[in-house]
Amino acid sequence: MTIEPKPYFHELSQTEVDQLIQEKTTWEMVMDRYAQPDWCVYQDALSGIYGCWTLTDLSPTSNRSQVSPTGICKLCDDCKPKYESRPEISQ
């Protein structure tokens, strides 16, 4: 049996996110179904208001939708020190 890797929550389209909101999906279900990127060091980043605010911002103009492979979590308090301590990767 192969275990499918979980899709990244921040890679969902806004339409998909709106769908989840409509279905009244809880953050618990989100944490169960989706993966947190490894560049975000926030514990349980996908746990809604207790998580990483970059990754759990659901608005259309959110930081989530602008997340790059290098990680916009450089803006979030927990990830900032980690981000700043590593060399810049060009996009």
Q: How far is the CB of 22 from Zn ion (least distance, A)?
A: 25
Which residue number, 1 or 49, has a Cβ lying nearer to Zn ion?
49
Binding site for Zn ion (CB under 5 A): 40, 42, 52, 73, 76, 79
CB of 7 closer than 8 Å to CB of 35: yes
d(CA 23, CA 7): 18
Residue 34 φ/ψ region, left for φ over 0, alpha for ψ in the -120 to 50 degree band, beta for the rest: beta
Q: How far is the CB of 31 from Zn ion (least distance, A)?
A: 14
Which residue number, 3 or 89, has a Cβ lying nearer to Zn ion?
89
d(CA 84, CA 23): 38
Q: How far is the CB of 73 from Zn ion (least distance, A)?
A: 4
